[in-house]
Structure 1
Amino acid sequence: MGGQIKVMIVDDSAVVRQVVRQALEHEPGIRVVGAASDPLFAMMHMQREWPDVIVLDIEMPRMDGLTFLKKLMSERPTPVVICSSLAEAGTTAAMNALAAGAASIITKPKMGVKQFLEDSANDVVHAVRAAARANASRLASPVAPVLVPPPKLSADAVIGSGLGRGAGMVSTTERIVAIGTSTGGTQALEAVLTRLPAVCPGMVIVQHMPERFTAMFAERLNGLCQVEVREARHGDRVIPGRALIAPGGKHMLLTRNGAQYTVEVIDGPLVNRHRPSVDVLFRSCAKFAGRNALGVIMTGMGDDGARGLKEMKEAGARTIAEDESTCVVFGMPKEAIALGGVGEVVPLDRIAGFIAHHGH
């Protein structure tokens, strides 16, 4: 996006509007084009100058933020950062906001909001900049929360490189699929998993999400899909027809116990600024599944998963990346392609077919 990022603030609190405006206007490349106390006033202003990003509260008079968000995404998709005390991680309001297309969520406390926003100015700025990089045409479906970047470590901090005790067991017919995604991934995963038949290879999935989001996200998908979808627990088996989603705040690794694939759910440092990390999962799949695995990298910001996918390819796995045309953010797939870890590039609507046929 060239030029300045134009931002609209929609919140019924005059204090919040003032503090958020001050935080954003101190940043180069960001311009606040307006602030409104509710969505109806906001729409009147936005018809004159449409913003690149909207910072939106949920609880407001005349029209609530979720209704406004759904209206935006159906009529003119625009990146939205939810900033609300109702959107605490794991709540129904937070999941509904993500399902409706919010690019990011910042949870305000119910008390001490002014001080919190002043202390969290960098978080607001980062969320706005990240949202501005999203592909607006792909925003009419859920996307994942954006995290503030911490120091960057590689997968070496959690799992060593090189062949493991299970990588050589390639004579087995048991196949697995590893999927990594971030911004835009809740949309992409729903599109893929709902297309799969009940009988398909077992799947291990990293979606960048904070703690408490992943359990509700998995539960929602489980109600939509023929396959079983659940948040992974330490020691869970990876079996056909089951998709295990790494818990927020934990790394997930594939391992092997005799002829069975299982997962380890462990603590550890942030890898590529994330926990769970796609690189950690993909490296474990390279070590313990080798050519029995299919690696899939989809929409997301940054480069988490690029190195791990290359390791999977080098171990004999088939690897695919989502095409730019269907990505909300063509970051992770782009980096994986540039690194040489991708065998095929396919649009989102073809990925389920690759997964279903991997078991044959």
Structure 2
Amino acid sequence: MCAASVLVVDDSVTMRALIKHALSRDPDIVVVGEASNPFEARNMMKQLDPDVVTLDVEMPNMNGIDFLEKIMTLRPTPVIMVSNLTAPGAATTLAALEIGAFDCVAKPSARETMFNELPGLIKEAAKAKAGMTRRGHAGAAARPAANEPAKDRRVRLPDLIAIGSSTGGVEALMQVLSEFPADCPPTVIVQHLPAAFTGSFAARLDRVSRAKVSEAKGGEPLLPGHVYLAPGGARHMVVKPGARPSVSLVEGETVSGHRPSVDVLFTSVAKNFSGSSCGVILTGMGRDGAQGLLGMRQAGATTLGQDEESSLVYGMPRVAHEIGAVTRQLPLGKIARQIFSGG
């Protein structure tokens, strides 16, 4: 296995040295270059083609968020934001994740914090590079006006919608949920995010969607017009049947490398909602969700997958498609339309 190559971008000589030192202690990582600003970084990316870029936010000439946007549009590469502005829950963090950053970490107050966390993130990010595709220029679909028909009433809607996503999923979910009507079927989502981010991300989704979006607490009844986002951290999210079907958070080991896991959620939907559900797998690295989505399809559910061209990382949707779990592959902009109008 080749070492993961990294370009470090930060206007601070001291911080570049700290990051390089932290990474050089891992034999599976090599720092191939250092840049003090985005213009230097752009040229180095062309010359060195790094597997991963670490990127500061506050820099001269162009800030890191603007440069991240250019990277994801013109030369998709896994980027880990390392900044004082990317602490858990910060607005800059969500902006970076929405654009397509692989992860965000705060600059440490002590060296050991970075030594422990960053090398592992670099190696995970390097795995994503092969599946990354250029962002489209069409932008997010416009949010329908309040008086527009939200859906074709002749289409039989599912009793439950389940969505799974990972890298690139912050932006993808923003677009899909912006097209959800206020009376959508109950919807459950697993998006791979650190625990500190999911609450603020749910609030952000709630602002763009006519449906009510919230971070699941466990025990909530599955109600129309409500979207439940799995909290990051130590528990899986599942749905439970009964006179009042509900959301539940359960203990368990990681599944497909994740907790919460899309596979766990989809498997619970397949078991408890059989053919009356719709499963959607969006952009993400790895294979989490593919097997669970196959179970949903085998139980009679409608299953949709994001296509390669519109996926930031065509990993999870690719595996799901290859194993026969996906009924239809669609561009991101057509997924909500397919759910609610069949077109």
* TM > 0.5: yes
Q: Structure 1 residue 342 and structure 2 residue 326: aligned?
A: yes
Of 127, 132, 135, the residue aligned with 1:135 is 132
Change in CA separation of 1:278 and 1:124 when aligned onto 2, cut-off 3 Å: closer
Q: Structure 1 residue 282 and structure 2 residue 270: aligned?
A: no
Unaligned stretches of 5+ residues in structure 2: 141-155
Of 199, 206, 213, the residue aligned with 1:222 is 206
2:188 alignment partner in structure 1? 204
Partners in 2 of 1:123 and 1:138 — Cα distance?
26
Alignment of 1:50-89 (within 5 A): 53-61=52-60, 63-70=62-69, 72-73=71-72, 78-89=77-88
1:254 alignment partner in structure 2? 239
Partners in 2 of 1:78 and 1:107 — Cα distance?
20
Partners in 2 of 1:121 and 1:350 — Cα distance?
36
Task: Tell me the CA shift for residue 128 of structure 1.
Answer: 4.3
Report which stretch shifted further, 6-15 or 321-330. Answer: 6-15
Indicate the SS of the match to 1:257. coil
Partners in 2 of 1:137 and 1:25 — Cα distance?
32
Task: Tell me the CA shift for residue 219 of structure 1.
Answer: 0.6
State the AA in 1 paired with 2:222.
V
Alignment of 1:171-182 (within 5 A): 175-182=159-166
1:126 alignment partner in structure 2? 123
Task: Tell me the CA shift for residue 343 of structure 1.
Answer: 2.0
TM-score (norm 1): 0.78
Contact 2:166–2:191 (CA<8 Å) still a contact in 1?
A: yes
Task: Tell me the CA shift for residue 345 of structure 1.
Answer: 2.0
Q: Structure 1 residue 117 and structure 2 residue 114: aligned?
A: yes
Number of equivalent positions: 323
2:197 alignment partner in structure 1? 213
Contact 2:99–2:171 (CA<8 Å) still a contact in 1?
A: no
Task: Tell me the CA shift for residue 129 of structure 1.
Answer: 0.7
Change in CA separation of 1:124 and 1:264 when aligned onto 2, cut-off 3 Å: closer
Partners in 1 of 2:312 and 2:278 — Cα distance?
22
1:156-190 CA distance string (max 9 Å, x none):
xxxxxxxxxxxxxxxx9971111111111112111
Indicate the SS of the match to 1:138. coil
Change in CA separation of 1:120 and 1:227 when aligned onto 2, cut-off 3 Å: closer
Change in CA separation of 1:201 and 1:303 when aligned onto 2, cut-off 3 Å: same
State the AA in 2 paired with 1:283.
T
State the AA in 1 paired with 2:34.
A
Of 290, 294, 300, the residue aligned with 1:316 is 300
1:154 alignment partner in structure 2? none
Partners in 1 of 2:321 and 2:75 — Cα distance?
31
Partners in 1 of 2:158 and 2:63 — Cα distance?
49
Contact 1:286–1:311 (CA<8 Å) still a contact in 2?
A: yes
| Identity among equivalent pairs (%) | 40
Contact 2:100–2:312 (CA<8 Å) still a contact in 1?
A: no
Partners in 1 of 2:136 and 2:197 — Cα distance?
19
Partners in 2 of 1:173 and 1:100 — Cα distance?
31
Unaligned stretches of 5+ residues in structure 1: 143-171
Indicate the SS of the match to 2:268. helix
